Amino acid sequence: MAQPTSPPAEPAVADEAAPGRTDGSDAAGLGRLRAALFVTPALLIIGVFLVFPALWTLYLGVTDYRLTGIAAARPSFVGFANYVRALTDPLFHNALWLTLLFVFGSAIIGQTVLGFGLAWTLRSAPRWVRGTVESLVLLAWILPGVVVAFLWIALLDSDRGTLNALLGTAGHAWLVDNPMTVLIVFNTWRGTAFSMMLFAAALAALPPSQLETARLAGASGWQTVRDVVLPHLRRHLLTNTLLISLWTFNDFTPYLITAGNPDHRSEVLPVYIYLTAIPGGQLGFGSAISLLMLVINLALAFFYLRLLRERRS
């Protein structure tokens, strides 16, 4: 463990513990031992709360571990049985499909389109309109999930819900009849602020003379967006899509609104995993699905980063 710069005869530990040492590998002059002491608490916390659960999940995924019963006391190794079961489970397929629908509808379409639309139209809006709309959109984003979930349940309640009162459709059970539509609209409403702010910042960096050149050429609003604005936003568009699709993919708020009901019709992956592992008690199986979800996340991220790198070169 001796450093290349240490005198060979000296014991390495004593040398590194010596105060006031400043060679290239020790900029703070602490010595390796003391530096390690400072880092240890952080490493311990990361280890206990991040690395250990991750490895534990890996381990659980190949057992039949349950929350209660004999398998909880003495889980047995089942190999890839959990993975095989997940990949052939219609409920897993259902959850995956609903998640893709959720991501595509609320993030890629809903938040991106609405966020860009807001950023683009608010540019030329009077200051007070802009301030009001931005504050409202941001509010939806910063309110705690539990609070907004409760608001939406109150909004959509079939008997005394605000929406039914407004539409005069008393008795319509939105959460039962259109659970996925509700979730998609909800998440669009909840998450648009991020896309709006990102696009607003990107638009502020677009030279006004380019937009004016298009205006002078007689370009319509749509032509200006297509020819000048979108090419300018391409990089931001990719980054934004990557971030919001990952966030939406892993979002657990749907559980607070529909809890996967009715009949698994709003059971997106995070909800499915939770229902399987905790109330369902099948920790081993739940861990296996979690790992599959992680793989999908990585694949998504990899795909976007590849696209981004291609744009750059």
Binding site for another protein (CB under 8 A): 207, 209-210, 212-219, 223, 227-228, 231-232, 234
Q: How far is the CB of 27 from another protein (least distance, A)?
A: 39
Considering the complex, state which of residue 93 and residue 234 has its C-beta at the smaller distance from another protein.
234
Q: How far is the CB of 9 from another protein (least distance, A)?
A: 59
Q: How far is the CB of 224 from another protein (least distance, A)?
A: 9
Q: How far is the CB of 125 from another protein (least distance, A)?
A: 15
Rounded (10°) angle between helices 127-142 and 112-122? 150
Tokens of 176: 């039962």
Q: Which residues of 108-137 are buried (b: 16+ CB within 10 A; e: fewer)?
A: eebbbebbbebbbebeeeeeeebeeebeeb
Helix (H) or strand (E) holding 177: helix 174-177
Query: Alpha helices, DSSP H only, in 11-126?
Result: 12-17, 32-46, 52-60, 70-73, 81-88, 90-102, 112-122
Considering the complex, state which of residue 20 and residue 126 has its C-beta at the smaller distance from another protein.
126
The type of residue at 226 is R
Helix, coil or strand: residue 19 = coil
Considering the complex, state which of residue 121 and residue 223 has its C-beta at the smaller distance from another protein.
223
Considering the complex, state which of residue 93 and residue 311 has its C-beta at the smaller distance from another protein.
311
Considering the complex, state which of residue 1 and residue 216 has its C-beta at the smaller distance from another protein.
216
Considering the complex, state which of residue 235 and residue 265 has its C-beta at the smaller distance from another protein.
235
Between the alpha carbon of residue 119 and those of residues 133, 135, 213, the distances in Å are 10, 13, 21
Closest CA to 56 of 312, 309, 292, 290: 290
d(CA 199, CA 240): 9
Q: How far is the CB of 309 from another protein (least distance, A)?
A: 18
